[in-house]
């Protein structure tokens, strides 16, 4: 099939590469000239396992190409996917300016009928607006054809985006006519040997499903974080509770990990947008508000815990921070809990020695001053980050931080204190090695004489 993917961001690029991998001819339209030039050279601007190999293979095979021109992109395209960003607008709602601008451009560029599919996460009713805008322009150009529209939300996760796209849990096809459903079904057939995983519904239901999925997952996390707060006060380990409830099939083991809060490009933005949608409908989204409030609080916990440990005196303290990306497997720093911690530590006068396997490049802009003055240092090795440190804070659970040589770290640190923002360490083992250990929603373990200093 001849396809056009508009937007070479996370979702667009993965979509374009994976459709090309399945033998489609894909033109990806990208406006940013720098990004476009990098992609055309086979250079992926984000860290995503497997993506660069796909990009290079299909640039070479000619199945995939990039263009700055919408006209070129949609020439002969049977389906055009809109995969541009929907950032948070000033009032918390999804900012649709990019999506609507694409609709206008499509209305000007299309020379033949085409199915226009929204892959961006957009509020209910957006696909309809997109269709109307395109068709209005087609009418003003005296074109005799009109476009059909569909919603096909994307559920890929950063860090496993290619795998998620190639082997999806489900594909949601939101179409209001049979022809569009059939067209998309055919396109997705090679990805789904198990056809039960294709779920067909109306356009509006598909748009809502994406928000509901992300909001539900965020709710599970915030719920567990609230339970963790209570556990900490009742001398109960949230990790025991997590295992205890996760073994119930109705609850399941995923997305019930307490920690220092969720971040990334989706959960925070989508929860906010859903709250705004509810407000616009005059509906009170009490649960969603609580989910968001709990997460905002959760992101401050690590700092509160460190400050409390040092009796509010952080000036001159050296704090090692392991993990900056919002989760392992990505270089994405958007809404990352690490940023909240770093901002507070630096403002309180602490020196920070941070280590992340791939996300350090993204620190230059926001922390230029602290990097320049040396108050913030980025290290390649997790061990160098702990040199002379008064505390170690684990923020992102990268594999390389899971089983470090704690005896070596004990020797490197000035004070053996660990704040575990993801509850990945064995509290008893660390206490045995002479560390003071604080997790999220776990009883305090070990003791540290120097901590009174
Ligand atoms: C999410 C959705 O999972 C995906 O389906 C959607 O398409 C985009 O948004 P992503 O943002 O890549 O994907 O990350 P995800 O793995 O879902 O993690 C989100 C955040 O929740 C991370 O900050 C993670 O650390 C946190 N998290 C996750 C928890 O705090 N506890 C958990 O149990 C699970």
Predicted ipTM? Answer: 0.96
The ligand 1 atom at the shortest distance from the C-alpha of residue 154 is 7
Q: How far apart are CA 130 and CA 86, in angstroms?
A: 14
Q: How far apart are CA 72 and CA 199, in angstroms?
A: 32
Over residues 143-150, the mean pLDDT reads 98
Question: Residue whose CA is closest, atom 34 of ligand 1?
Answer: 255
Residue 170's pLDDT is 94
The ligand 1 atom at the shortest distance from the C-alpha of residue 257 is 33
If asked whether residues 387 and 284 sit together in one domain, one would say: yes
Is the pLDDT reported for residue 453 higher than 60?
A: no
Residues in CB range of 81: below 8 A, 6 or more apart: 3, 4, 5, 6, 12, 15, 117, 119, 152
Residue 446's pLDDT is 78
Question: Residue whose CA is closest, atom 21 of ligand 1?
Answer: 262
Confidence of residue 384 (pLDDT cuts 50, 70, 90): very high
If asked whether residues 317 and 422 sit together in one domain, one would say: yes
Nearest to 414 by CA among 388, 391, 447: 388
Tell how far the Cα of 11 is from the centroid of ligand 1, in angstroms.
15
Residue 182's pLDDT is 97
Range of the domain at 41: 2-201
Q: How far apart are CA 196 and CA 439, in angstroms?
A: 41
Residues near ligand 1 (Cβ within 6 A):
154-158, 214, 217, 221, 255-257, 259, 262-264, 266-267, 326-327
Residue 447's pLDDT is 64
Domain end residue (candidates: 201, 224, 259): 201
Over residues 377-395, the mean pLDDT reads 97
For the annotated catalytic residues, the residue numbers are 266
Domain end residue (candidates: 185, 201, 217): 201
Is the pLDDT reported for residue 450 higher than 70?
A: no
Number of domains making up the chain: 2
If asked whether residues 242 and 273 sit together in one domain, one would say: yes
If asked whether residues 38 and 140 sit together in one domain, one would say: yes
If asked whether residues 144 and 243 sit together in one domain, one would say: no
If asked whether residues 216 and 162 sit together in one domain, one would say: no
The ligand 1 atom at the shortest distance from the C-alpha of residue 260 is 30
Tell how far the Cα of 87 is from the centroid of ligand 1, in angstroms.
17
If asked whether residues 149 and 245 sit together in one domain, one would say: no
Q: Whole-model pTM?
A: 0.94
If asked whether residues 149 and 175 sit together in one domain, one would say: yes
Q: Compute the CA torsion angle 182, 186, 187, 193 (nearest 10 deg).
A: 130
If asked whether residues 110 and 225 sit together in one domain, one would say: no
Confidence of residue 195 (pLDDT cuts 50, 70, 90): low
Residue pLDDT, tens place only, 403-444 = 999 999 999 999 999 999 999 999 999 999 999 999 999 998
Residues belonging to the binding site for NAD(+) are 35, 86, 121, 158, 269, 334
Residue pLDDT, tens place only, 292-335 = 999 999 999 999 999 999 999 999 999 999 999 999 999 999 99
φ, ψ for residue 152 (rounded to 5)?
Answer: -140, 75
Over residues 207-229, the mean pLDDT reads 98
If asked whether residues 305 and 210 sit together in one domain, one would say: yes
Tell how far the Cα of 221 is from the centroid of ligand 1, in angstroms.
9
If asked whether residues 192 and 209 sit together in one domain, one would say: no
Nearest to 125 by CA among 211, 184, 185: 211
Percent of residues, the chain, with pLDDT higher than 90: 96
- Asked if residues 303 and 345 have their Cβ atoms less than 8 Å apart, the reply is yes
Mean residue pLDDT of the chain comes to 96
Over residues 19-44, the mean pLDDT reads 97
| CATH code assigned at 373 | 3.40.50.720
Domain end residue (candidates: 165, 184, 201): 201
If asked whether residues 135 and 219 sit together in one domain, one would say: no
Tell how far the Cα of 224 is from the centroid of ligand 1, in angstroms.
14
Nearest to 353 by CA among 326, 381, 331, 376: 376
CA 64 to chain centroid: 25
Question: Residue whose CA is closest, atom 16 of ligand 1?
Answer: 157
Is 149 buried (19+), middle (13-18) or exposed (0-12) by CB count in 10 A? buried
Interior CA angle at 440 toward 262 and 351, to 5°? 80
Residue 451's pLDDT is 41
């Amino acid at each position: 099939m001849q396809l056009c993917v508009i937007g070479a961001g996370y979702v667009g690029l993965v979509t374009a590469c994976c459709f090309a991998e399945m033998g489609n001819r894909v033109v990806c339209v990208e406006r940013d000239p720098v990004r476009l030039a990098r992609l055309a050279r086979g250079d992926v601007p984000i860290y995503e396992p497997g993506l660069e190999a796909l990009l290079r293979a299909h640039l070479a095979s000619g199945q995939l190409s990039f263009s700055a021109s919408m006209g070129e992109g949609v020439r002969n395209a049977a389906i055009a996917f809109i995969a541009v960003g929907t950032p948070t607008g000033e009032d918390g709602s999804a900012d649709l300016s990019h999506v609507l601008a694409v609709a206008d451009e499509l209305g000007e560029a299309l020379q033949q009928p085409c199915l226009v599919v929204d892959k961006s996460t957009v509020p209910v009713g957006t696909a309809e607006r997109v269709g109307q805008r395109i068709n209005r322009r087609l009418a003003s150009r005296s074109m005799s054809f009109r476009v059909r529209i569909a919603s096909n939300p994307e559920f890929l996760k950063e860090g496993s985006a290619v795998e998620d796209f190639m082997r999806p849990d489900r594909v949601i096809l939101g179409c209001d006519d049979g022809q569009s459903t059939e067209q998309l079904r055919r396109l997705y057939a090679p990805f789904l040997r198990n056809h039960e995983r294709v779920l067909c519904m109306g356009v509006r239901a598909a748009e809502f499903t994406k928000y509901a999925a992300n909001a539900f997952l965020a709710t599970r996390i915030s719920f567990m974080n609230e339970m963790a707060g209570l556990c900490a006060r009742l001398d109960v380990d949230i990790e025991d509770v997590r295992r205890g409830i996760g073994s119930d099939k109705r609850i399941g083991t995923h997305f019930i990990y307490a920690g220092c809060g969720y971040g990334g490009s989706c959960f925070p933005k989508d929860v906010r947008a859903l709250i705004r949608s509810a407000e616009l409908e005059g509906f009170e989204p009490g649960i969603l508000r609580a989910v968001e409030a709990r997460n905002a609080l959760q992101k401050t916990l690590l700092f509160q815990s460190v400050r409390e440990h040092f009796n509010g005196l952080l000036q001159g303290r050296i704090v090692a921070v392991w993990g900056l990306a919002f989760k392992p497997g990505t270089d994405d720093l958007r809404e990352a809990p690490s940023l909240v911690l770093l901002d507070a530590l630096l403002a309180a006068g602490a020196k920070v020695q941070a280590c992340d396997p791939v996300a350090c490049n993204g620190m230059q802009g926001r922390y230029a001053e602290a990097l320049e003055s040396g108050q913030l240092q980025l290290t390649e090795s997790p061990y160098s980050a702990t040199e002379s440190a008064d505390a170690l804070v684990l923020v992102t659970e990268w594999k390389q931080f899971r089983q470090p040589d704690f005896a070596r770290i004990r020797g490197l640190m000035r004070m053996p204190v660990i704040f575990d923002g993801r509850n990945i360490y064995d509290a008893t083992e660390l206490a045995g090695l002479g560390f003071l250990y604080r997790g999220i929603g776990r009883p305090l373990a070990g003791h540290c004489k120097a901590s009174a200093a």
